[in-house]
Homo-oligomer: A and B are copies of this chain.
Amino acid sequence: MADLRRPERTFTIRQLCNEFKATPRALRFYEDKGLLNPAREGLNRVYSHKDRVRLQLILRGKRVGLSLTEIRELLDLYDENDEGAAQMARSLKKFRERANALEQQREDIDNALIELREACNRLEKRLAEIRPDLLPRAADYEQVLRARLDGHAEAMLGK
């Protein structure tokens, strides 16, 4: 039995899907878009170790909000040149741009949150005057809290 980590090891589409929680359709889609290029064994796709790495990069790119097109451009850079330096510089640039965009998004979200909280306050105030019984209270929030079983429930409660 070969070492699972030996570079010669290959993967089926579903193995990668299970490992990275993707769907076959997605992998084929990435291939369609030129982000992946697995070998074939007859018709079947055979993913190499390098393909697996590429997939990881794709998913990482997605997590930080790059479009598939952008990801493809980055991947292409790594391929074209024989081990990158200029490419790394370009990746770095791209990443910094994305970071800036994300910071902008955060600002937008913060503004929206401010507006929302103002609206909430106004509504709460008027409801308290007119129909205090209708005010959604802590009990209503337990659902929300239970829905996210992770650790920041306390943080949400304000300490």
Contact = CB atoms under 8 A, between A and B. Distances in A.
A128 to B, nearest CB: 11
A interface bracket (residues with beta carbon within 8 Å of B): 35 or more
B96 A127 contact: no
A117 to B, nearest CB: 7
Interface stretch (A16-24, A26-34, A81-89): A81-89
Copies in the complex: 2
Interface in A109-133: 109-113, 115-117, 119-120, 123-124, 126-127, 130-131
A89 B127 contact: yes
A120 B99 contact: yes
21 contacts: A60-B119, A64-B112, A64-B115, A85-B127, A85-B130, A88-B123, A89-B127, A89-B131, A89-B135, A89-B136, A92-B120, A92-B124, A93-B136, A95-B123, A96-B120, A97-B144, A98-B116, A102-B112, A103-B113, A106-B106, A106-B109
Interface of A: 60, 63-65, 85-86, 88-89, 91-93, 95-100, 102-103, 105-106, 109-113, 115-117, 119-120, 123-124, 126-127, 130-131, 134-136, 140, 144, 156
Complex A-B, nearest 6 residue pairs according to Cβ-Cβ distance, in ascending order: A85-B131, A89-B134, A64-B112, A92-B123, A99-B116, A95-B120
